[in-house]
Amino acid sequence: MKKWGDRVKKVEQLAQSFQLNPLATCYKPRLWPCQPSSVWKLFSRQNVAISFAQSCKEAVHVFALEKENTSLGQRIYLVTSYSELWHYYRTYPQSLMHCYEVIPEGAVCKLYFDLEFHKPSNEGADGKTMVSSLIQYVCDKLMEVYGVACATKNILNLDSSTEEKFSRHLIFNLQNAAFKDNTHVGRFIQAVLQPVLGVGMNSVVENSETRSVPESPQIKKRKQEERDLRFLQVKNKDGQDCLFVDLSVYTKNRNFRLYKSSKVGKNAAFTVADDNKFTAEKGISAEESIFLASLVCNVSFTGQRILTWDVPEKKESKTSRPKASPKVDAFVLTVVKKDGIQGSIRRWNYFASEQLLVYDIAKYRWCENVNRFHQSNNIMIVVDLKAEVWYQKCHDPDCRNFRSSSYPLPQEICVSYIMDEEDQAYLMDDAGNIEPGRAPNQAPQSVVCPEEESVQVWGDAQDNQDYIKSLDDFEENSMEISDQLLLNCMAEFDSQ
């Protein structure tokens, strides 16, 4: 009996040790058991989360979470894939109900709007009509400025209005076109709304001299637009003049609230507006299609035309990009400066959805497809930060679908090589609860055991040996257990 009692005590000590130091210290969900290990990491700082996401070989993105019962404005940053988030977004609505997409600085993105006004201060304002008028005006401007066709079926219209506030998000899912980044989106919107803003470029100043001069067609058009856009002028809750369009949402690393999410402490989540005309993608559920369409940075590199709003080149170069991109620039220049030809980088675009840096090259037209220099069409150098390779594509119509062989990037410019990963600050358990994680470099808690024996910390070499020995003991002794006893144990377990 003493031997049996010692064995029971040892099992209890091991159980206590495993509870304090479990096999998996962080929750890593999978959509199904056969799927490779997923990425699901939570951080307290946005810059750390962004750096970690850029170092991952998986297609991951950064999202911000507001947690209940925390200080106002405090956010946790989640790194995971679109599919993973959508799956668990529905599974754990309580812990993931206040979720925002982080729009990375410098990333190619969709055209988007945040619209709102205070209802009591704007009695008689028809929000639906205002949204419809704005959509038509912006679609006209997209065609006028870029030659890009857009219809209501391409625009996702989300609503989170309350009795006090009218609130909408518009996300333009243009066909094969997107903006270079959200600062270019902001510049475009500011430019096309100049008639109602009344300041800035091309503003019309009327005085005694200009009144006597016949108005040009441009001035007449601008005045008509100013009259047409007066519906965008609203009052805030203090009665001050403001704009229906929020122009503050085009800053770097902007947090943009997701479909089905509400602000912390609020119950107004974004849902599909009843006047929405967006056509959901076929092949997946309507709900998932809307979720993916609502993501501002869910833009693929393939076939995209990049829209810009011209700015001086010296300002353009200040736009931030992924970690180590200056080194990537230098490497790309070594590729296009050789054999006496001084190629250069004309411009670049960053596709955050696929972690691709796409360089348009000037003065260097060597194409691997034709094994010679093109006479007029330029080439592209595509740097895949996830796969840590680069390859060449071409603007020539005959080579449009061509992609060269992939070549490895030098190790010193790979994001995974320079990334100094920090431990995640928060963990999610199997029930979806998010709690503070173990501090970085914190040693596992030790278990106080009797002096005659100590419990090994889970994960070392001795544990592996003990685990193998336990398996051997089980295999040797399992034949002594009758089938009837096993069935009785199972029945007893099911009844509890």
Choosing from 357, 389, 418, the residue where a domain stops is 418
Pair 156, 176 in one domain: yes
Residue 463 lies in a domain: no
Residue 204 and residue 76 in contact, taking contact as beta carbons nearer than 8 Å: no
Pair 279, 389 in one domain: no
pLDDT value, residue 452: 34
Choosing from 386, 405, 436, the residue where a domain stops is 436
pLDDT value, residue 24: 47
Choosing from 409, 436, 463, the residue where a domain stops is 436
Pair 285, 145 in one domain: yes
Pair 167, 272 in one domain: yes
Residue span of the structural domain in which 140 resides: 111-193+229-251+264-294
Pair 233, 272 in one domain: yes
Residue 243 lies in a domain: yes
Pair 161, 245 in one domain: yes
Residue 97 lies in a domain: yes
| Closest of 424, 474, 488, 479 to residue 76, by C-alpha | 424
Strand partners, 255: 102
What b/e sequence results for 145-156 when a residue is b if at least 16 CB atoms lie within 10 Å of its CB, and e otherwise? ebebebeeebbb
| Closest of 280, 288, 268, 381 to residue 335, by C-alpha | 381
The total number of structural domains that make up the chain: 3
Pair 340, 424 in one domain: no
Residue by residue, what is the 3-state secondary structure of the chain? CHHHHHHHHHHHHHHHHHHHCCCCCCCCCCCCCCCCCCCCEEECCHHHHHHHHHHCCCCCEEEEEECCCCCCCCEEEEEECHHHHHHHHHHCCCCCCCEEEEECCCECECEEEEEEEECHHHCCCCHHHHHHHHHHHHHHHHHHHHCCCCCHHHEEEEECCCCCEEEEEEEECCCCEEECCHHHHHHHHHHHCHHHHCCCCCCCCCCHHHHCCCCCHHHHHHHHHHHHCHHHEEECCCCCEEECECCCCCCCCEEEECECCCCCCCCCCEEECCCCCCCCCCCCCHHHHHHHHHCCCCCCCCCCEEECCCCCHHHHCCCCCCCCHHHHHHHHHHHHEECCEECEEEEEEEECCCCEEEEEEECCCEECCCCEECCCCCEEEEEECCCCEEEEEECCHHHCCCCCCCEECCHHHCHHHHCCCCCCCEEECCCCCEEECCCCCCCCCCCCCCCCCCCCCCCCHHHHHHHHHHHHHHHHHHHHCCHHHHHHHHHHHHHC
Residue 222 lies in a domain: no
- Residues contacting residue 332 through CB under 8 Å, at least 6 positions apart: 345, 359, 361, 381, 383, 390
Pair 282, 149 in one domain: yes
Pair 347, 376 in one domain: yes
Residue 204 lies in a domain: no
What residues of the chain score a pLDDT lower than 50? Answer: 24-25, 199-211, 314-317, 420-421, 439-464, 467-468, 471, 474-480
pLDDT value, residue 474: 46
Residue 278 lies in a domain: yes
Residue 355 and residue 386 in contact, taking contact as beta carbons nearer than 8 Å: yes
Pair 287, 356 in one domain: no
Pair 271, 136 in one domain: yes
Pair 412, 286 in one domain: no
